[in-house]
């Protein structure tokens, strides 16, 4: 079975003390996970080291950065490179979240470079894609997300693509309380897998976890995760509440 993943995206929330407490509460629940089930916390950069030491050696729990810079190093004040993350022992990084695309003008080409930076540094990128409401309403969401994949992923080798995670996050569902229906989620996840398959073959496409994001809650996680092509979720708001995120983790297939 493909890896099934509950990924928390804390965004720019929580103080250091609140972050420690939240992690503590979730880890204290001692959730039993199978080998193919993983939990990833994408935490603010200043908390990476603390979070990594909190999850310790628990083999199913990992820490992600929320972003990295698209260049290897240099005069980019305030930025964080993939190499720096690697030197901290961080194994995952969210790439191309829609908030970064929108508020920080991240282009497809920059995201392609960020993918390279991650992979060169043995970091698994969690590549986000997803359409705005206007595109969904015009019925062209498939073409839109396919283009996002083509422009930022298709330069990768098949071996590289096998070590990425994709997160489909319709922008109209992020932080809005509006969730894609299970039919909408399954349909576009299967489509994304077919886009990967057309470039890299079915075997490769079948190995890649595709997470759903956009108002995943304790109350809807189980039905979303039950879809055959939905391999877990990237969770914002509900990941900030220990009991809610615990319920979401337990909803993994
Ligand atoms: P949300 O955010 O769960 O609050 O909708 C998801 C995300 O942006 O990753």
Q: How confident is the model at residue 58 (pLDDT cuts 50, 70, 90)?
A: confident
> Annotated catalytic, 155?
no
Q: Which of 54, 69, 70, 97 is catalytic?
A: 97
* Confidence at 175, pLDDT banded by 50, 70, 90: confident
Question: What does the pLDDT look like over 229-247, one tens digit per residue?
Answer: 999 999 999 999 999 999 9
Q: Does this model's pTM top 0.95?
A: yes
More confident residue, 1 or 144: 144
pLDDT of residue 72: 98
Res 177: pLDDT: 83
DSSP secondary structure of 25-88: HHHHT-----TTEEEEEE--GGGHHHHHHHHTT-TTEEEEES---SSSSSS-TT---HHHHHHT
Of ligand 1's listed atoms, the one at least distance from the Cα of 9 is 9
120 is catalytic: no
Side-chain half-sphere CA neighbours of 62 within 13 A: 22
Q: Domain ranges in the chain? A: 4-250
Given a contact cutoff of 8 angstroms between Cβ atoms, the answer to whether 121 and 80 are in contact is no
**CATH T-level fold of 4-250:** TIM Barrel (3.20.20)
Predicted local confidence at residue 55, as pLDDT? 94
Number of Cβ within 10 Å of residue 1's Cβ equals 9
Q: Which atom of ligand 1 is nearest to the CA of 239?
A: 3
């Amino acid at each position: 079975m493909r890896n099934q993943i509950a990924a928390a995206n804390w965004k720019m929330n929580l103080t250091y003390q609140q972050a420690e407490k939240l992690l503590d509460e979730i880890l204290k629940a001692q959730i039993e996970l199978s080998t193919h089930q993983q939990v990833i916390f994408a935490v603010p950069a200043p908390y990476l080291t603390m979070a990594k030491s909190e999850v310790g050696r628990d083999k199913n729990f990992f820490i992600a950065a929320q972003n990295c810079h698209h260049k290897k190093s240099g005069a980019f004040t305030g930025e964080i490179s993939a190499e720096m993350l690697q030197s901290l022992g961080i194994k995952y990084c969210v790439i191309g979240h829609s908030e970064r695309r929108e508020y920080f003008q991240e282009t497809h080409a920059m995201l392609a470079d960020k993918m390279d930076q991650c992979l060169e540094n043995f970091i698994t990128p969690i590549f986000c894609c997803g359409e705005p409401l206007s595109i969904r309403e015009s019925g062209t969401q498939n073409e839109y997300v396919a283009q996002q994949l083509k422009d930022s992923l298709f330069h990768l080798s098949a071996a590289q693509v096998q070590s990425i995670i994709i997160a489909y996050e319709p922008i109209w569902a992020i932080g809005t309380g509006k969730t894609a229906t299970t039919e909408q989620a399954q349909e576009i996840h299967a489509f994304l897998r077919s886009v990967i398959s057309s470039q890299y073959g079915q075997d490769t496409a079948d190995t890649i976890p595709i997470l759903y994001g956009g108002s995943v809650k304790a109350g809807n996680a189980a039905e979303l995760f039950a879809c055959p092509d939905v391999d877990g979720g990237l969770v914002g708001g509900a990941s900030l509440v220990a009991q809610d995120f615990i319920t979401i983790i337990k909803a993994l297939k």
